[in-house]
Structure 1
C-alpha cells in the first residue's frame, strides 16, 4: 500500500473513532467540555459500581445530544425480566445502540456469557438496532483462541458489529482479521486501541476500578504497561500505520476505531485531532 493510501486509511479510521469511558463522577463534565456532539461514547460496566452507574451516565449523555452506548455486561444482569426492564428503559430514552461483553464478574443470574443474553434479546424482539460484541485478536486469559472465533460465529445472528479488545501487534491484527473473514464472520469491525494514556495514570485507573477487578484488569492488560513504559515503545500513530495495509483491504470491513481512553478524554481527543492534521498535511491539505 502506498504512503498516501496508508494515510487515507488512517484518516478514515480516526474520523470514525468512538471513545470508551468509565462512569466516574467527573466523566460527564469532561465529555461535555472536550468532545463534539458527533463523537460516539461508550460507557463501561463494572461490578464495583453496578450497572446503574452505566445506564445513568448513558442516559445523561444521550440527553446532551451524544450517541451514547451502554456496556450491558451479561454476567451482571440477572435474567430476562431485568433485561426487558433495561431494554424498555433505554429505548424509552431513544437509545438504540448497545455493547454486550460477557463481563469479568461471576454471573449474578441466568447469563454465563454474552451469547445467552443475546439470545434473550432476540426473544424480546431485537429492541436495539446496533449490537456490538467483543473480539479477541490476542489470546484471552481464560478462553482458547479457536473458541473466541467460534463464539463470534455463534453470535453473528444477534450482533451487528465486533469491537476488538486491546492489542499492540499489527501482525496479530492482520492475522486475526483474515481468520475472522475466512470463517465467514462478515460483521463490520471496530479496532480497539488505547488512547495516549501514561503508564502511571493507567495503573492509577486500574487500582480505582476496584480491588477484585484490578487484578483481572492487570491480567488482561499486562502487556499494556510494559509497552507504554518502554523507550520508543507503543504509539498509536505507528501502530495504525502498520495496521493500515490490512485494514484498508475491502474485505477487512474495518469501519473505525474503538479508543480505550481510561478517562484521559482531553488527551485522547487532542491526540486524535493532532494526528488528523498531520495526515491531512501529508495528503496535501
Structure 2
C-alpha cells in the first residue's frame, strides 16, 4: 500500500476522526527521538522542540569521539531530557574503554539509561561483538533502563540466511536477563514503513514468550529520496518496497513522506488489542529534528514548553 499524507477530516467521519486521533495520541505518549552530536549541534535549544523529559537517544557512529558524545549528553541532560546514549559493542576496544565511557557519561551527564547493540561494524574493534556481552559485563549494573535492539524485518548481519533463528535465540536470552536485572528493559527497533509485518512480528514475539515492551522505530517526515537513501544504508528490509512503490508514482514522488498512515494503523491495532507488545514510538528524524517534533505535536504528541533561555 502506498503511503499518503493522512487527512483526518477527509479519511473518516468526525466521530471516527476523534477516535483515531486519540488512538495516535495514546501511542505517541512518551515517544522518544534519536540524535547524533552533529545533528544536535544544529538545534539551538531542544526545549523549544521537545517536551521535557523526552527520552533522547544519542547515536554513536563509529569514529565519533567519546568527548562529543558525552558533551551532547551533558547538554541534553542540562536542558531537562532523559539521555540514552548508544553503546555499539563492535566499536568498543575493550572492557577498560567501556568502563571509561560509562564513567564519563555518569560523571558529566548523570546518564542512567543506555541502548546496547552490536553495531553495524562488520569487524569488531576488540573483545565485544554483541549486546549480550555488554549486558554480561556487569558494568551497567545500577542503570535504571537498558534497551536492546529489535529487528521486525530480520537482520542479515546476525542471520545471514535471511531467517531469524539467531535473532530469536538472542531475544530469548535477553528476555531471561530482563528477569534477573533491576533495570527496566525494552526493545528499540529499526525504522519500518509497513504496519502489517510489524504487527505479525510483535505477535510472534509474544507467542515465543518474549514480553519485553517494544518501542517501534518510525522514520520522521522527510523527502522521499532522503528516506530511500537512509533506508538502504540502514538495511531496512521488505518494507522498503513501500517507499519504492511510492517513488514510481509521479504524483507522489515530490511530496514529503510522513509516517501518519504507519503510526495510525499501529495505534488502531493497539486500541483493539490493549496487550499488543508495541508500547511507544521511537523517532528517527531523518528529515530534521524540528520537522519531526512538529509532526509529533500536530498528531497528538505533547507540546514543548518554549524555553526561557534565562
TM-score interval for Structure 1 and Structure 2 normalised by the shorter chain: 0.7 to 0.9
- Show CA shifts across 1:211-259 (max 9, x none): xxx9x72544792853663545964111122222433323223221000
Counterparts of 1:177 and 1:134, CA distance in 2: 13
Distance 1:239 1:129, change over 3 A: same
Shift of residue 109, structure 1, vs aligned partner: 0.9
**Residue 12, structure 1, aligned to residue 26, structure 2:** yes
Pair 1:18–1:228, CA change in 2 (3 A): farther
Out of 126, 131, 135, the residue aligned to residue 118 of structure 1 is 135
- Note the 1:26-45 alignment, pairs <5 A: 26-29=41-44, 31-45=46-60
Quickly say closer, same or farther: Cα 1:240–1:36, change in 2 above 3 A.
closer
Whether 1:190 aligns to 2:215 is yes
Write the mapping of 1:116-155 to structure 2, written as runs, cut at 5 A. 116-120=133-137, 123-124=138-139, 126-142=141-157, 143=159, 144-155=163-174
1:40-189 equivalence runs, <5 A: 40-92=55-107, 93-105=109-121, 106-120=123-137, 123-124=138-139, 126-142=141-157, 143=159, 144-156=163-175, 157-158=177-178, 160-189=185-214
Residue 199 of structure 1 corresponds to which residue in structure 2?
224
Q: Structure 2 vs 1, CA of residues 30 and 103 (structure 1 numbering), >3 Å: closer, same or farther?
A: farther
In structure 2, C-alpha distance between the alignment counterparts of 1:228 and 1:56, rounded to whole Å: 39
| Partners of 1:247 and 1:254 within 8 A in 2 | yes
Q: What is the Cα-based RMSD across aligned positions, in Å?
A: 2.8
Match of 2:261? 238
Post-superposition shift, 1:87?
A: 2.1
Residues 240 and 10 of structure 1, relative CA distance in 2, 3 Å threshold: same
Q: Equivalent of 1:226, from 244, 268, 278?
A: 244
The TM-score, its normalising length taken from structure 1, stands at: 0.82
Q: Per-residue displacement from partner, 1:78-134 (whole Å, max 9, x unpaired)?
A: 2222222222222233211111121111211111111111111xx236131100011
- Could you tell me which runs of 5 or more consecutive residues in structure 1 were left unpaired when the two chains were aligned: 207-213, 278-285
TM-superposed CA distance for 1:48, in Å, is 3.3
Residues of 2 paired with 1:51 and 1:5: CA distance?
A: 45
Quote the Cα distance in structure 2 between the aligned partners of 1:14 and 1:160. Answer: 19
In structure 1, C-alpha distance between the alignment counterparts of 2:203 and 2:291, rounded to whole Å: 32
**Residues 27, 263 of structure 1: 8 Å contact kept:** no
Q: Secondary structure at the match of 1:24?
A: helix
Which residue matches 1:217? Answer: 233
Q: Could you say which structure has the larger radius of gyration?
A: 2
Query: Does 1:270 find its partner at 2:287?
Result: no
Unaligned runs of 5+ in 2: 1-14, 179-183, 302-310
Size of the alignment, in residue pairs?
A: 265
Q: What secondary structure, in the 3-state scheme, does the structure 2 residue paired with 1:86 have?
A: helix
